[in-house]
Amino acid sequence: MSALSSESEDGSSCDGADERYLPCCASAKLTIVVGGTHFSEEKSFLVQSCDYFQALYRSGMRECRQEEIHLKYLRARGFLIALAVLRGEMPDLDGDDIVEAIECAAFLQVAPLTKHLINLTDSENCLLMYHTAATFGLMDLYHAAALFIRNMYTDLEAEVKKSLPSELISYVESLTPSVFVAVGAHVTCGSEETVHAASRTVCYLDETSNNWKVLTDLPLEASTSMAGVTVLHNKLYVVGGVHGLHKQVVNSSFCYSVENNSWSRISSPAQLRYNLSLVGVDDRLYAIGGEYERMVMSSVETYDIKTGRWGFAAHLPRPAAGAACTKAMSRIFVCLWKPMETTEIYEYLSGKDEWQLVTTLIRQQSYGHCMVGHRDNLYVMRNGPSDDFLRCLMDCYNLSSGQWSSLPGHFANSKGSLFTAVVRGDSVLTLNRSMTLEFIIDSKNWKPRRQMKGFPRSGSVWTFLLRLPDALTLQ
């Protein structure tokens, strides 16, 4: 392997580092020797990216004044992968790469690399991710891989018990798998509603008994009609919506904690809205587009769950209401229509606070109505010929290759079931009143796997995943 020299963008100060410890870091080069390979990088780039280097230069140790630092316990390939991820690349990793990348992420405390490894976790590498993360103490990946395994335990149990030590098996089995949860998407609020009305219940599917059970009642002031509904960090958020015959905007937003089995109010966006798209990534909610007083908007607001505050982000390229939106690889994507017969997919770049056009799909008499992310693929469900919503067509866009492919055949969309699609592991769960249908994603194709009980409510529904404590499921 040849040495790698990296020229990083540089500013006048070291963001994320204390300048008292790094008076010259903005322009200083540092040589890092890893396994006999020399890497030349800006000090500021390393300090901003790695907790190891930040702690090193804050310590005032002798190494702070050296122009060359030797990392004796790492291998060059792992450090090369870390640098690639820190520059914004998304390298695909094989087994050896994964081990060396985990070793580097743990030793240097490279949060973006850990995040990338979590995003790459799949049914083929999850056991390796889990076992290696346990070995090197990379706890975020350790926990994420264990949750992934738990969600696919029916498929993976035999291999888990064959290849993992008992303590790792015990940890996986101590976790609760994600359950399929649904609530009516037309539930309004107001004085005419009652607290315990059946339509106002959030329910989950007990797959063992094949029965839907009540999880919680919606707060009386909450509406799911044309609201934004999503889950972030195992908490359910309901933002905006309308109530009444005249679609009056709801000015209250709510958060449900499964750990406490309780609802709490959160602040609402500065611009009240309904028919919005709501998605959660990292520690933020994104309220995208929507309507207010029947005016379609392009504005976007973000909610920081740590501070409890909303702030405006970059506007959408054009106004959109109820836009198909998803996340994949911890990135946010939205479908916008640009007539005629054109579906454009944009990505929100949080570092630049801008929307970037990713790809365009042109299909005759067809537009993307729902989008689901799985690994590095975006699946776009669109209407069939002549606005046929009962037989949907599906296309797949691969983020790594930049290529489109079409899934063979039509997909039954009885009562909008496809538009409720939620990914769990390598499966997709869809729902209507008649049935819950699970698809297995195999070589990008969706193949029906099993059928379970439908949701015992009329009308459209919101669906999502939650991990429920044993105390709730035993009630």
Query: Mean per-residue pLDDT for 115-134?
Result: 97
pLDDT tens profile 384-405:
887 888 999 999 999 999 999 9
Q: Is the peptide bond before 152 cis (omega within 30 degrees of 0)?
A: no
Structure-token match 């994104």, residue found:
286
What is the helix (H) or strand (E) element at residue 188, kind and residue range?
none
**Which tokens go with 203?**
């329910």
Q: Record the pTM.
A: 0.89
In this predicted structure, what is the pLDDT of residue 13? 35
3-state DSSP assignment of residue 78: helix
Q: Degrees (nearest 5) of the Cα angle 371, 267, 236? A: 45
In this predicted structure, what is the pLDDT of residue 367? 94
- 475 pLDDT band, cuts 50/70/90, is low
In this predicted structure, what is the pLDDT of residue 23? 41
In this predicted structure, what is the pLDDT of residue 19? 44
% of the chain residues with pLDDT over 90: 74
pLDDT at 60 over 80: no
What does the mean pLDDT of the chain come to?
A: 90
Query: Mean per-residue pLDDT for 288-296?
Result: 95
pLDDT tens profile 142-172:
999 999 999 999 999 999 999 999 999 999 9
- 194 pLDDT band, cuts 50/70/90, is low
What is the number of alpha carbons within 13 Å of residue 285 lying toward its C-beta?
31
- 7 pLDDT band, cuts 50/70/90, is very low
Q: Which residue would you say has higher pLDDT here, 4 or 449? A: 449
Phi, psi of 139 (to 5 degrees): -70, -35
Spatial CA neighbour of 24 closest among 16, 13, 39: 13
